[in-house]
Amino acid sequence: MTSLPAPTDALAESQRLIATLEQLRAELPFADDILAQYRPTHDELASSHVKSEAAVAAWRAALARRWDCEVAGRRLYKQIIRQFAEHYGSASAPEVKLLSRGGAEAESSPAELLGDLRRLHAALAVGAEALSFAAKRLPELERVCANLESAITEANVCETSRRVAVLDIRMAREAYRRVRSETRRILIEHYGERVASEFGDFLK
């Protein structure tokens, strides 16, 4: 089974092979037939490569945005837990323990962090009259929760798109491999072992 180069190298290789076949059209009576198979495969390889790069870039940008939202969320979470502790006189107060996960939130997933922040919001809303800091923190929590939820959704959508794009490029490369193998077979029938000197490493 022939191996495939990296996607970018495969595109360059495919383009060079097409150019070589174009140059040999007068010598190869079946060159047009090969090119008719090769061009759509090359176009699909190029298209899937562009889509994959765009999907990966979007996914990375979404992860960066989600991370920024997580950092903001954890910072606000710690500030509010500290205010609850000051209000109730101790970080070990039962009211504080019900809200804090004892530091475990530092390793929480984005979804778990969002759940922690929502619990804080609910506690602030219920005790708004008794908590002097509630009026200021409630809008902040709402904004941070909305941003984090949006970032989580965006990252999940981009991850799905990235997976689809990776699958598409694998399928395009497999189609390219099949066409390349068939091209090699046809050219060896015509050139014999001279195919190596005529086409270099294209068809190995």
User: CA nearest 100: which of 123, 127, 131?
Assistant: 123
Q: Which of 3-7, 35-39, 133-137 has the lowest mean pLDDT?
A: 3-7
**The predicted structure's pLDDT at residue 151:** 98
Which is more confident, 72 or 183? 72
- The model scores a pTM over 0.85: no
pLDDT tens track for 52-89: 999 999 999 999 999 999 999 999 999 999 999 998 88
Q: Which of 55-64, 88-97, 109-118, 188-197 has the lowest mean pLDDT?
A: 188-197
Query: 114-124 burial, b for 16+ CB within 10 Å, e for fewer?
Result: bebbeebbebb
pLDDT tens track for 13-37: 888 888 888 887 877 778 888 888 8
pLDDT of 199 strictly over 70: no
**The predicted structure's pLDDT at residue 124:** 92
- In this structure, the number of other CB atoms found within 10 A of the CB of residue 38 comes to 20
Q: Calculate the average pLDDT of the chain.
A: 85
CATH number for the domain whose boundaries are 7-199? 1.20.1260
pLDDT of 3 strictly over 60: no
With beta carbons less than 8 A apart as the criterion, state whether 106 and 74 touch.
yes
Q: What percent of the chain has pLDDT over 90?
A: 46
SS3 string of the chain? Answer: CCCCCCHHHHHHHHHHHHHHHHHCCCCCCCHHHHHHHHHHHHHHHHHHHHHHHHHHHHHHHHHHHHHHHHHHHHHHHHHHHHHHHHHHCCCCCHHHHCCCCCCHHHHCCHHHHHHHHHHHHHHHHHCCCCCCCHHHHHHHHHHHHHHHHHHHHHHHHHHHHHHHHHHHHHHHHHHHHHHHHHHHHHHHHHHHHHHHHHHCCCCC
- Structural domain spans, the chain: 7-199
Distance between CA 152 and CA 65 in Å, rounded?
A: 9
Token pair listed for 36: 């008719």
Token pair listed for 149: 């939820």
pLDDT band at 105 (very low <50, low <70, confident <90, very high): low
Q: What percent of the chain has pLDDT over 70?
A: 87
pLDDT band at 2 (very low <50, low <70, confident <90, very high): very low
